[in-house]
């Protein structure tokens, strides 16, 4: 006899997340975070399951306040090249909260800031894999713009711990929480650090800044600290060591 699957917890993380993929998979990205969110919310509702929607710091767009707290509404271009990602993530947040308010669904929304670590794709296109691979191969590191834009980089193990806590702690329905590492670096400093750590002879070359590339990004994680008793433990130095070790292995195999 075929039994309908039963769910206690649904985590909707299905979506490309590299800006390089936004152009390649624009419609798919929008479907995953509109139809995909609707269908998985329905499934959660049918099963009375807890629902965790993976949102993003991209909902803050090119933020006019720094650091960004969960109360900030963002500064988003609705028709720019990143809108296929940030606007549907905003739509999915709204839809998830509508299900929570109307149907009493237990919904939680982590807003995930830049995350890195081993097992990223070599051609992922995001800054950490790009710089490490370029440095290991002795190619110039491609800094977009003048490199003064900032990012705050969270090591994958820390993020996973935050997601677990957000999924498993009771009485969090309707809660939106920033998950990220508040250590903020300029991209040019990151490039220099990766050259140093890999012992590379690579130069740095400057390429044009992608349209709507946010100039600053740093999470305010006070809510995560208070409610989840969570904060990142892995500082950039140690996280980069692990990541360089991984890409070194991949690059040589």
Q: Which residues bind ligand UDP (CB under 6 A)?
A: 19, 114, 126-127, 130, 142-144, 149, 151, 187, 210, 213
Which helix (H) or strand (E) element contains residue 102? helix 83-103
Q: How far is the CB of 133 from ligand UDP (least distance, A)?
A: 10
Q: How far is the CB of 250 from ligand UDP (least distance, A)?
A: 17
Q: Active-site residue among 85, 99, 116, 155?
A: 85
Secondary structure E strands in 61-200: 107-112, 115-116, 141-144, 150-152, 154-155, 175-179, 184-186
Q: How far is the CB of 196 from ligand UDP (least distance, A)?
A: 17
**197 is written with which tokens?**
């750590």
Q: How far apart are the first and last CA of the chain?
A: 47
Q: How far is the CB of 128 from ligand UDP (least distance, A)?
A: 7
3-state secondary structure at position 111? strand
**166 is written with which tokens?**
């957000």
- 150-152/184-186 β-pairing: antiparallel
Output 39 or 196, the one with its CB closest to ligand UDP. Answer: 196
Output 50 or 126, the one with its CB closest to ligand UDP. Answer: 126
State the maximum Cα–Cα separation within the chain, in Å, rounded to a whole number.
64
Q: How far is the CB of 50 from ligand UDP (least distance, A)?
A: 28
Output 47 or 142, the one with its CB closest to ligand UDP. Answer: 142
85 is catalytic: yes
Output 27 or 211, the one with its CB closest to ligand UDP. Answer: 211
Any idea what DSSP says for residue 59?
Answer: G
Output 190 or 228, the one with its CB closest to ligand UDP. Answer: 190
Spatial CA neighbour of 87 closest among 126, 40, 37, 123 = 37
Residues in the chain: 253
Of all residues in the shown chain, the one whose CB is closest to ligand UDP is: 126
Query: Would you name the residues annotated as active-site residues?
Result: 85
């Amino acid at each position: 006899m075929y039994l309908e699957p039963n769910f206690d917890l649904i985590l909707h993380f299905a979506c490309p997340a590299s800006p390089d993929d936004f152009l390649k998979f624009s419609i798919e990205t929008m479907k995953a975070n509109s139809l995909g969110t609707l269908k998985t919310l329905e499934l959660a509702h049918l099963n009375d399951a807890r629902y965790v929607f993976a949102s993003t710091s991209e909902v803050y767009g090119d933020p006019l306040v720094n650091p960004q707290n969960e109360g900030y509404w963002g500064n988003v271009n609705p028709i720019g090249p990143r809108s296929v990602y940030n606007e549907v993530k905003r739509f999915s947040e709204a839809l998830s909260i509508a299900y929570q308010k109307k149907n009493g669904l237990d919904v939680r929304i982590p807003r995930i800031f830049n995350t890195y670590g081993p097992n990223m794709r070599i051609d992922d296109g995001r800054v950490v894999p790009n710089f490490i691979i370029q440095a290991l191969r002795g190619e110039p590191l491609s800094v977009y713009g003048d490199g003064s834009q900032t990012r705050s980089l969270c090591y994958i193990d820390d993020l996973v711990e935050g997601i677990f806590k957000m999924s498993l702690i009771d009485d969090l329905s309707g809660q939106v929480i920033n998950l990220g590492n508040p250590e903020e670096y300029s991209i040019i400093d990151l490039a220099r650090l990766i050259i140093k750590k890999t012992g590379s002879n690579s130069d740095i070359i400057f390429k044009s800044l992608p349209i709507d590339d946010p100039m600053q990004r740093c999470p305010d994680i006070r809510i995560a600290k208070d409610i989840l008793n969570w904060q990142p433990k892995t500082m950039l130095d140690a996280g980069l060591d692990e990541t360089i070790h991984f890409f070194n292995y991949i690059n040589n195999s």
